[in-house]
Amino acid sequence: MTPPPGSPSGPGSADRTRGAWASWLLIGLAVAAVVVLSVALTPSTNTADGTTTASAGDGSVAAATAETVTHQVRIEGMAFIPAAVEVPAGTRLVLEITNDDELRHDLAINGQRSGDIPPGETVTFDAGVFGESAEGWCTIAGHKAMGMTFRVDVTGGDGGAMAGVDHTASAAGSPANPFVDVPTPAERQLDPGGDFLAHDPVLAPAPEGDVHEIELVMTEEVREVAPGHQQVQWLFNGTAPGPVLRGKVGDTFRVKLVNEGTMSHSVDFHAGEVSPDAAMSTIQPGESLVYEFTARRAGIWMYHCATAPMSLHIANGMAGAVVIDPPAGSQLALGGVDHEYLLVGHEVFLGQEDVGADAQRVSDGLYDLTAFNGHPNQYDHRPLEIGVGESARFWVLNAGPDNPLSFHIVGEIFDTVFTEGRYTIRDGLAQSTGAQVLPLVPAQAGFVEVTFDEPGTYTFVNHVMTDAEKGQHGRIVVE
Ligand SMILES: [Cu+2]
C-alpha cells in the first residue's frame, strides 16, 4: 500500500530571529505540549494500510462548531458517482460511500482517508471541514490514473482555490493536453446514450463487377472524436476512418477525388502500383483528380492522405482500408465464415473544436487516446454480436500514425492468420497450433479467424496494454 499522494504538509516554519530564540523556545515547548494533548484526544480512523491516523485534523473552534453535510457517493467501474459535490465554505462533509464495484477502493481527500471500502460495502467517511475546494482520489495503485478522482467544490467564502490537485498527472497519463480535458477511462465507460451510433464494423462483400467507380470527397467537418468531445476532422466521404473499398484481384478502381475542403489534400492507395508523381499529387480546394489503379495483389491495404505533414492529415482522420479478395480457388482463397468485421486502429489526438489535432502534439507523438474505427471504446457500448459456434474473420489495419498494434481477443486463439501477403497459420486447431496476436506496425494489416464455441463476453484489445486502456478495447457478446 502506497501512502496517499499529496498528503498535506504542515505550514512552513517561519524564520526566527536569533536574539529572541530563548523566549521562543519556551513558548514552543508549551505549544508542543498542547499539540501532543490535542492529538491524543482526537478521534482516529483506520486507514487502508492498517495504520491509524488522526481524523479531521482541524482542531480549531470553527471546525468544532461547523455544520455537517452528508452526501451519498457510489463507486462503480473505476468512478465515483457523482464525481463532485458542493459544500458551503466551513462545512464538515460526511460521505456515505457505497462500493458497487468488484474491486476494493478508498478515498483520500482534504488530508483524510476513508479507509478500505470492500466490494459491496458502505462506509461513512468524515472528510473534515472544507475551507477551500479540493480534489481527492482512490489511493489503490493505478486507480487515480483510471479516473477515480473526486472533487469537493466549496461555495461561498474565498474557497474557490483547489487544494491537493495534482496537475502533473493527466487522466491519460501523458503530459497534460493544454487544449482539452481528456475523458478519463471512467468517463469513457459511461453509457453514451441511446442515440450514439458506433461506426459499423461489419465488412460487406465486394460489389459485383471488375471496375469500381468511386468518388472520394474530402472535407473538413466537426465530429465527436471521443466521449463528450467534438473537433474538426479531415475526412474522406464524411467518415473517419474513410469508406472501405473492396474488390478482387484483377479489379480496377477508378477513384475520383474531389476536394471540397479548405486546404490541400491528396490520396495514396497502397493497394495499387502507380507512379506517385501524378496520382498522388496534392489537389487544392475546388479541384478534383482521377486516381486509377488495378489491384493485382490480395490483402488488406491502407490508403491515406499523402499531403504533408502526413502524420497530421492521418491523425485528423484521413485514412482507410482497401480489401482485395484473392482469386476463388487459388491457394490464398478465403474460407467461409459467418461474420466479417473490419477494424482500423489508430491514435486519437484531441484538440480544440475549430482546430482539430494540434500539429506540434502530433509531431511529438503526444496522443491522448486510441480507438478502433474512430471512437475510443465505442464497441464496449455497442458490442459485436456473434452466435455460439459461429466463426468470424476480423480484418485489422493499423493506421497509426505511429504506434504498433497487437490485436488480441481475450479468451480466444486465432485459428487462421493472414498478414502481409501470406498465411502464417491456417486451420490452426487441426494442426494443434494457433496465434494469440496479430502484430501490426503502422500501415500493416491482415486478418484473423476465430470460432466462438462458448457463450460469453469476449474482449478485443490492442495488447499494447496502455493503449487498450486509452480506448482500443471493445466487446464481443457470444450467445
Ligand atoms: Cu489531407
In a domain, 334, yes or no: no
Measure the CA–CA gap between 145 and 135, rounded to whole angstroms.
14
Over residues 402-456, the pLDDT tens digits come to: 999 999 999 999 999 999 999 999 999 999 999 999 999 999 999 999 999 999 9
* Element counts in the chain: helices (H) and strands (E): 8, 30
Question: Does 72 share its domain with 134?
Answer: yes
Q: What is the DSSP string of 117-138?
A: B-TT-EEEEEEEEESS-EEEE-
| pLDDT, position 103 | 86
- Asked which of 115, 148, 169 is the last residue of a domain, the reply is 169
**Which pLDDT does position 256 carry in this prediction?**
97
CATH for 276: 2.60.40.420
Strand blocks (E) in 339-433: 339-348, 369-372, 384-386, 391-400, 405-410, 416-419, 422-425
The reply to whether 275 and 406 lie within a common domain is: no
Q: Does residue 189 belong to any structural domain of this protein?
A: no
Distance in Å, CA 310 to ligand 1 centroid: 7
Which of 275, 291, 325 corresponds to the end of one domain?
Answer: 325
Cα 224 to ligand 1 centroid, rounded to whole Å:
19
Residue stretches of the annotated binding site for Cu cation? 265, 270, 304-305, 313, 318, 463
**Sign of the alpha-carbon dihedral angle for 246, 249, 253, 259:** positive
Cβ proximity of 402 and 461 under 8 Å:
no
DSSP character string of 282-329: -B-TT-EEEEEEE--S-EEEEEE--SSSHHHHHHTT-EEEEEEEPPTT
Residues 352 and 320 in one domain: no
Residues 6+ apart with CB under 8 A from 219: 234, 235, 238, 260, 261
| Mean pLDDT over the full length of the chain | 86
Question: Domain limits at 109?
Answer: 55-169
Query: What is the DSSP track for 34-88?
Result: HHHHHHHHS-EEE-TTS-EEESS---SHHHHH--EEEEEEEE-SS-EESSEEEEE
Share of the chain above pLDDT 90, in %: 75
The predicted pLDDT at position 41 comes to: 37
Determine the distance separating the centroid of ligand 1 and the alpha carbon of 259, expressed in angstroms: 9
Instruction: Tell whether 90 is covered by a domain.
Output: yes
Contact partners, residue 194, CB within 8 Å, separation at least 6: none
Cα–Cα distance for residue pair 301/446, rounded to 1 Å: 8
Q: How confident is the model at residue 158 (pLDDT cuts 50, 70, 90)?
A: low
Number of domains in the chain: 3
Residues 367 and 401 reside in one and the same domain? yes
Band of pLDDT at residue 162, cut at 50, 70 and 90: low
Radius of gyration for the alpha carbons in the chain, expressed in angstroms and rounded = 29
User: Which residues are annotated binding-site positions?
Assistant: 265, 270, 304-305, 313, 318, 463
Q: What distance in angstroms lies between residue 251's CA and the mean position of ligand 1's atoms?
A: 26
Q: 175: pLDDT confidence band, cut at 50, 70 and 90?
A: low
Q: Are residues 156 and 217 in the same domain?
A: no
Task: Count Cα atoms within 13 angstroms, Cβ side, for 127.
Answer: 31
Based on the fold, state whether residues 296 and 356 are members of the same structural domain.
no
Cell numbers linked to 169: 498527472
In this predicted structure, the answer to whether residue 335 has a pLDDT above a threshold of 80 is yes
Q: 193 lies in a domain?
A: no
**Residue 50, in any domain of the structure:** no
304 CA to centre of ligand 1 in angstroms: 8
**282 Cα to the center of ligand 1, angstroms:** 8
Residues 439 and 355 in one domain: yes
313 Cα–ligand 1 center, Å: 5
Give the Å distance between the CA of 340 and the centre of ligand 1: 29
| Domain end call among 270, 294, 325 | 325
Q: Using the mean position of ligand 1's atoms as its centre, give its distance from the Cα of residue 267 in Å.
A: 8
pLDDT of residue 156: 86
Q: Is residue 42 part of a domain?
A: no
pLDDT tens for residues 74-126?
998 788 999 999 999 999 999 999 999 888 899 999 999 999 999 999 999 99
Residues 343 and 414 in one domain: yes
Same domain, 144 and 115: yes
Distance, CA 361 to ligand 1 centroid (Å)?
Answer: 17
- For residues 309 and 348, membership in a common domain is answered with no
CA of 405 to the centre of ligand 1 (A): 23
354 shares a domain with 288: no
Residue 139 covered by a domain: yes
pLDDT digits (tens, 9 = 90+) for 240-286: 999 999 999 999 999 999 999 999 999 999 999 999 988 888 999 99
Q: What is the pLDDT of residues 392-413, one digit of tens each?
A: 999 999 999 999 999 999 999 9
Residue 164 CA to ligand 1 center (angstroms) comes to 43
Q: In this structure, are 348 and 417 located in the same domain? A: yes
Task: Identify the H or E element spanning 155.
Answer: strand 149-155
- DSSP H/E element including 224: strand 211-226
Flag whether pLDDT at 388 surpasses 90: yes
405, 232 contact by CB (below 8 A)? no
Residue 438 lies in a domain: yes
Q: How many C-beta neighbours within 10 Å does residue 161 have? A: 11
